[in-house]
Amino acid sequence: MERKTADFFDWDKLNMQKVMTQMSQHPDQMDKIIGFVVEKVEHFTEFKTKKEHLKEKYDHKLKDLYAEYMSE
C-alpha cells in the first residue's frame, strides 16, 4: 500500500478520522500506518521549529535594520 500524507493529514494537521479509516481498511498494516504517521508528525514538527527559528532571526535582523535607518 502506498501511503500519502493526504491520506492521514489535512495539510499539516493530523486527521484522526482519516487515520482510523485507513487502519480499519488495512488492519494488517497498522504498525506501518502508525510508523508513517509518527514519521510525518516528526517531520512537520521539525519544519515548524525551523520555520519559527527563521522567523525569529528575520524579526531580529529587521529590528536592527529599523534601528540603523530609522533613528533620528
pLDDT at 71 over 90: no
User: Which distant-in-sequence residues (6+ apart) come within 8 Å of 60 by Cβ?
Assistant: none
The domain spans of the chain are 5-70
Q: For residue 17, what pLDDT is reported?
A: 98
User: Which distant-in-sequence residues (6+ apart) come within 8 Å of 7 by Cβ?
Assistant: 18, 22
Taking only the tens place, the pLDDT of each residue in 16-36 is 999 999 999 999 999 999 999
pLDDT at 72 over 80: no
**Closest Cα partner for 27 from 1, 47, 58, 51?**
1
Question: Average per-residue pLDDT in the chain?
Answer: 96
Q: For residue 1, what pLDDT is reported?
A: 80
> The C-alpha cell of 34 is what?
502508525
